[in-house]
Amino acid sequence: MKNDFRLQYPLWQMGFIILLGAFAYGLSSPMTEVVNTETENSIMISIGGTQSLFAMIALLLYFILLAVFAYQLRKHNKNNPHQKVSAFSIRPPEYLEQDEGMTYITRKAAQKVYTFITWSLPLLAAFAIILPLPKLFIIWGILLVALGQYWIYYREVRSHLKEETE
């Protein structure tokens, strides 16, 4: 159970979220020029030197992580035909419900995540309304909430699994 891909799934998602945050930083101050005349309609976006490099590295790492994730997912599905994980499922693959104990652990972890989201999203919205935050900080706030939910879920499930092994 310790090496179950479904248990590792939140870690993968956290990696993707961190890389998206880095990519957002790289694109945070592009220069946008809109041309809208009778003869031409175009939008030109140019990104500065260091930030452009940062965005490209983050994007490259994202695709590398995506390829490794796809490989691990395919490997898990091949080795565990009775516990296949779909990359495009509406139901999160972290739900570990093969028996009553795991159903309880999953429910408890999901409750903690729900409580976190219930408090964090309104607070984030309040900060975004009250403070004149740049768009990048709002994006980072949303990504931070997403990162937090996966961290809470992973920590809760992991703590229960450690108790079982002791």
Position of tokens 């020029």?
33
3-state secondary structure (DSSP) of residue 41: strand
pLDDT tens digit sequence for 105-153: 888 999 999 999 999 999 999 999 998 888 888 999 999 999 999 999 9
Q: Which residues contact 47 (CB under 8 A, 6 or more apart)?
A: 26, 27, 29, 30, 31, 55
Q: Tens of pLDDT along 63-111?
A: 999 999 999 989 988 988 887 888 787 777 777 666 787 788 888 999 9
**Total-model pTM:** 0.79
Cβ-based neighbours of 29, under 8 Å, separated by 6 or more: 47, 48, 51
The set of residues, in sequence order, having a beta carbon less than 8 Å from that of 76 and lying 6+ positions away, is 5, 83, 84, 85
CA nearest neighbour of 25 among 125, 130, 126, 134: 134
Q: For the CA atoms of 84, 86, 92, 93, what is the dihedral angle to 10 degrees?
A: 30
